[in-house]
Amino acid sequence: MPEDRSIPRAIKYSVLRPLLVITGSGRIIGVHGPRQRTILTMLILAWGRVVSVDSLVDAVWGDEPPATARTQVAICIGALRKSFKQAGVEGDVILTTHPGYRLETTGSDLDALQFTSLVAEAAAHVKQGRHEQGRVLYRQALDLWKGPALAGVTGRPVEDEATRLDERRYAAYEAWSEVELALGHHQDIISELTSIANSSPLHEQLRYNLMLAQYRAGLRAEATEGFRMWRRNFVDELGLEPSVAIKELHASILQDDPGLTLPVQVKPMVVPAQLPPDVDLFQGRAAELGELDRLLGEKAPGMGLITGVAGVGKTGLIVHWAHKVAGEFPDGQLYADLSQYDGKQPEFVAGALLGRFLRALGVPGDQIPSDPAELASLYRSVLADRKSLIVLDNVRTMSQITALLPGTGRSCVLAASREQLAADSGTVRVDLGLMTAHESQTLITKIAGEGRATSEKAAVNELCRLCDGLPLALRIAAARLVAKQHWSVQHLVDRLRDEHRRLDELSTGGLEVRASFALSYRGLTEQTARMYRLLGLLDVPDFPAWVGGALLDVSPAEAEDMIERLVDAHLLTPIGSDATGTMRYRFHDLLRLYARERAESDEAEDKRRAALHRVFRTYLTLAEQGHIREYGGDFAIIHGSTPRRHLDAPLVGRLLGSPLDWFEAERPSLVASILQACTLRMEELAWDLAMSSVVLFETRNYYDDWRAVSEKALEANRNAGNIRGEAAMCYELASVEMFQQRFDSATPLFTRAFQLFDSVREVHGRALTLRNMAITDRVQGGLRSAMSRLDEARNTFRVVGDASAEAHTLNQMSQIELEWGNPDAAVRLSLEAVRIATALGETRGAAQALNRLAAAYVKQGRFDAAKQSYDGVLRIVRSKGDTRGEAYALMGIGETLVASGQYDEAESILADALEIAERVDDLFLLAKVHLALGTCSQQLNQLTRASQHLLIARNTFHEIGSVWGELQASADISRLSAEACGGRTLPGR
């Protein structure tokens, strides 16, 4: 299924209670029945990940699912989708993604995730000694609970997860009560802690904390009596004695041990203190701060390394963490910014820093040796008995760090680098990413002011998006709002929307995003820098390494090496392997703008254009080969004059092992490349690439993409006076309209394409257009004109050698014979189509031919032969992920079962076909499935349901202008009404 659907507005999911789903407007989503609750809960718990149908079946029915389990899951999914729609939710909430379904979570909230985040942030604060902040966050986390997790939702996986959530709740209560005790709030927590401890007697730590709170509040008798009762129940239930720790606490309470009172805390003195000032209004990064906390403790690692893109907040993080843990390093904090040593030899940098640090540690200048080895030895000797923190910012190489590592002792080095440095396995590594939308919004609000941000929430959200979640950019933008009090947030957003000015706008008070990026760019070799800037010219959202090879006209292996160097410099981000197993990369938005800016200043226009042309030609080469592999030859298509770019056969074979997987992986990039080629006046290439990509748009129902590229390429070719290209894109745009049953719009476009092809004597394109004009005629009832056009097209396809288009034409002729009531003639034509199509392999053409043959067999009453043919169709379309084709095959099987009197099984199969038809935006298919369901329901004496299906079918056929379909549905409605009024018993149950 497509993933570029409209995103639903914010939905709040609550599982820390009986299941509750609320829309952004406050409406409660009705989830009816235990199966729907279990299925929705499984999707919620996966939170954006795909849940297979098998997992859903297991959750609902366990080890004994019924035969119709998968169908019933689909029905439940349909009912849930309907509930969301009825509650006013726009966009698709539940997406169908092989091998099951997933929840669209963008912009939505899950209380369990909030709970986990708050608990983690609370724990981080407590580790840093900020108990009050930790207490507040623990309280917020616990207040999210409104009852037992997922109460009333059944299913083993759900119940297991509910138990796990409840356990995490008790663990949070334990941590919260310990913080409250540390703050001296023992009196305040006794009531709540008593209730929770009594409700969970097996959680010993809760009882321990309650006893301590009671003792400190002067309730010694209550503490001891509560322990005795709890111990008796504990032993009875588990047959075990409580732990030594709680029994020792009980004994200490009986003895009034003074050690049970609150300890007095003394803050250690810190010297030297070279850290820069802490970051003003530091925001977020709780997980990263928690990871750095691993550097604390007696057996902690001796080094931490933070890496990330320029401007991501590495300096802010190391300085902020260093300030927070200063008390853990009583012998001082040393700090150095190594950017001042750029271009200097590592030995020089090490010597300069060692001398500087030794003086800060109290070594007189005249005692500091000049020999590098002696200098390093003295540094390690001075630190041997100390616990100091050495903070190094803007490190370029590991050699700059190595000389500053203490030899022994408890000191620690924390370094930040724009490079992906190779440190040893004991190093604590933090790869710092961009801020989340929530963190970005909070940072803007803190700096620019809550009132200002609250009054322009939408503008703040857009501002965060334009700043790409980059902390430096966000701080600059917020600082500009502070400096320009007469500006609205929307005004700054409007200025930032201009990509040519955005980097100029992100500059204030000595801070500049462009300058930060330039530091990383200057460290690249010339060839790698050229790769970076040329990649910035592309409009594609992401790309594999071979795209870089086309840009620089080098091998994919050379390109990958350069791209990986850009990854190491945090100028590109790897996003994982696509369906072909190829690694893909992308820019952060601001880094792309900087790369494009460098390209436009450092590369001549003809060089830029040539590089892009090579990329687009490579896409064309692969798309053409993918089309050929899907069709069994270069069929059903015409091409332009753009020369292809040679690619090594092993690379082509690896990428196109499954052509549709490659097309799917490259779909956004193909669309972007076609549109960009049109903008650059490469219209000949653009129409050829658009036509070569149609196999994807048509098979996977990407009608919006198909329309977008066809319209843009049509405009470009028309403006350039390219008649052949204009004809091809008129044909494609008409085909989109035809596939979506907009025949009134398709007809004039086909007519125009036919005229243009005729004017330039393009016989192949003219025949393709004739065939599709015939399809339009047939659907609208013009069977004789359709047959005439098909016959003419078929003769041309034979002449030009287009076997696939010939087979497809025979299919259409077979359908007309069926509609004329000539099943024998239809079978003969279909058998010829199958012979031609199957000779090309298991292509879509073969599936279409088998589908038409099966329909003809049904009319002959040869149901077993029909079923066998439909099974062949189903195998082919499912192997290709052709959802629309799968629906047609299921509908055919259902019609066959109806014709052979197997009504119950037919109803189930047709329900599956209907569920798919409602998703693929094919009104003709939808009408036909409703028509078949109407006939099936009539045979089952489900007269009301039959009437509903037939009315939907008739109205839909009328809407799309299908005369044959509307007449058929109307006739079935009349028969149904006549038999119902006559009171006769209908066939079947």
What's the pLDDT at 738?
92
**Amino acid of residue 592:** R
Tell me which residue of 120, 109, 31, 132 sits closest to 76, measured CA to CA. Answer: 31
Q: Side chain identity at 560, as an amino acid letter? A: E
Instruction: State whether residue 23 is helix, strand or coil.
Output: strand
Task: Let me know the angle formed at the C-alpha of 368 by 364 and 371, rounded to the nearest 5 degrees.
Answer: 175
Question: What percent of the chain lies above the pLDDT cut of 90?
Answer: 41
What 3-state class would DSSP assign to 30?
A: coil
Query: Which residue in this structure is represented by tokens 């085909």?
Result: 735
DSSP string of 549-592, one letter each residue: HHHHT--HHHHHHHHHHHHHTTSSEEEEE-TTS-EEEE--HHHH
Tell me the per-residue pLDDT of 514-564, one tens digit each, with 9 for 90 and over: 888 888 888 889 999 999 999 999 999 999 999 999 999 999 999 999 999
CB-CB contact of 563 with 545 (8 Å): yes
Beta pairing class for 94-97 and 100-103: antiparallel
Mean pLDDT of 833-861: 87
Task: Please say if the pLDDT value at position 580 is more than 80.
Answer: yes
DSSP 254-267: HTT-GGGSPPPP-P
- Residue 397 corresponds to which amino acid? T
Q: How many Å apart are CA 842 and CA 911, to the nearest integer?
A: 27
SS3 304: strand
Residue 425 has a pLDDT of 65
- Tokens 């800037």 sit on residue: 533
Least confident span in 44-48, 223-227, 709-713: 223-227
Q: 760: closest CA among 793, 726, 790?
A: 726
Give percent of the chain with pLDDT exceeding 70: 96
Beta-strand relationship, 507-508 and 511-512? antiparallel
Query: What is the pTM assigned to this prediction?
Result: 0.63
Check whether 340 has a pLDDT greater than 80. Answer: no
From the number of C-beta atoms within 10 Å of its C-beta (0-12, 13-18, 19+), residue 784 rates as exposed
**Lowest mean pLDDT, pick from 172-176, 346-350, 751-755:** 346-350
Please state the rounded mean pLDDT for residues 178-193: 87
Cβ contact 113:59 at 8 Å: no
Instruction: Give the bridge partners for 337, in sequence order.
Output: 393
Length of the chain: 989
Contact 314, 306 (CB under 8 A): yes
> Max alpha carbon distance in the chain (Å)?
117
Sequence-distant (6+) residues with CB within 8 A of 983 are: none
- pLDDT over 70 (residue 7): no
State how beta strands 100-103 and 51-52 pair.
Answer: antiparallel
Is residue 258 scored above 80 in pLDDT? no
Specify burial of residue 487 (Cβ count, 10 A radius: 0-12, 13-18, 19+).
middle
Q: For residue 676, what is the enclosing H or E element? A: helix 659-679
- Residues 578 and 562: their CA atoms lie apart, in Å, by 20
Phi, psi of 348 (to 5 degrees): -65, -45
- What's at 402, amino acid-wise? T
